Amino acid sequence: MSSVKLARAVKSRYDILIHNLQNLLIRDNISETELSRRTKIPQPTIHKIFSGKTNDPRISTLQMMATYFNTTVDLLCSENFVSLYDRKQEGKLIPIISWSDAIKSRNPIKSLTSKNWSDWLLIEPTENDLIYALKTKVTMEPRFLRNTIVIIDANAKLIDGELFAVQYPNTTEATLRELSIDGPSQLLMPLNKKDTPDILDKSIHILGRVVESRYIYTKK
């Protein structure tokens, strides 16, 4: 393919992308500024994409927008996109972090943006900025299948019978425990019932409550 034809092909695909994104803004009745706020993509970056001032947007940026609109990058660049996805989608993007990242600070996601993080999840709209996701490990089976996504609300209060992400002293990762409250007694129950419960004391840090879990089956 000649360089001229290649340039036209790239421009055509990019024009389709812009057209689809503009239709999505109209469909959801939001502005470029609002899209920036919801996706945490810098507003100047979004404006350059929508105005056609960049022919090579970062794949991570496109992935962020695709995730927000509950679709894929390939479909965003497809001429059939509008007819395939005409249902309104709204929500909030939250980062999926590691169990070791979760213990780094009170707010482990404070510095995460579309420029330095690529793993995000679309959830229901919320004003809570202290909410993130974790992927469960094999040690958490059979309660959770491996790589189940659990959504953690770091602002949540202690509730009897609920699951919490916790950090034990002298450990490098967070883990999950079920909280059992009986009067003044507070116990952390292991996911494996054969293990011994622990008394919740000041040495154990409660990181947040599990407010939702999701498992997406992927056939290999």
Tell me: pLDDT of 10 over 80. Answer: no
Separation CA 14–CA 51 (nearest Å) = 11
**Residue in the structure block whose two tokens are 């005409």:** 86
51-68 mean pLDDT: 84
Q: What is the CATH number of the domain that holds 159?
A: 2.10.109.10
Q: Spell out a b/e string for 63-90, using b for 16 or more CB atoms within 10 Å of the CB, else e.
A: bbbbbbbebebeebbbeebeeebeeeee
How many domains, in total, are found in the chain?
A: 2
User: In this predicted model, what pLDDT tens digit does every residue of 122-155 receive, in sequence order?
Assistant: 888 888 999 999 999 999 999 999 999 999 999 9
Q: What is the CATH number of the domain that holds 60?
A: 1.10.260.40
Q: Domain boundary at 44, 74, 89, which?
A: 89
Q: Which domain holds residue 19?
A: 13-89
Regarding whether 208 and 120 lie in a shared domain, the answer is yes
- Where residue 155 falls (left for φ over 0; alpha for ψ -120 to 50; beta otherwise) is alpha
Q: Domain boundary at 89, 122, 143, which?
A: 89
User: Residue 8: inside a domain, yes or no?
Assistant: no
Residue partners of 89: CB distance under 8 A and separation at least 6: 28, 68, 69, 70, 122
Q: Please give the structure tokens belonging to residue 167.
A: 């950090």
Single pTM value for the model: 0.65
Instruction: Please tell me whether residue 77 adopts helix, strand or coil conformation.
Output: coil
Separation CA 153–CA 26 (nearest Å) = 31
User: In this predicted model, what pLDDT tens digit does every residue of 82-133 receive, in sequence order?
Assistant: 544 544 456 788 999 999 999 999 899 999 886 788 788 888 888 899 999 9
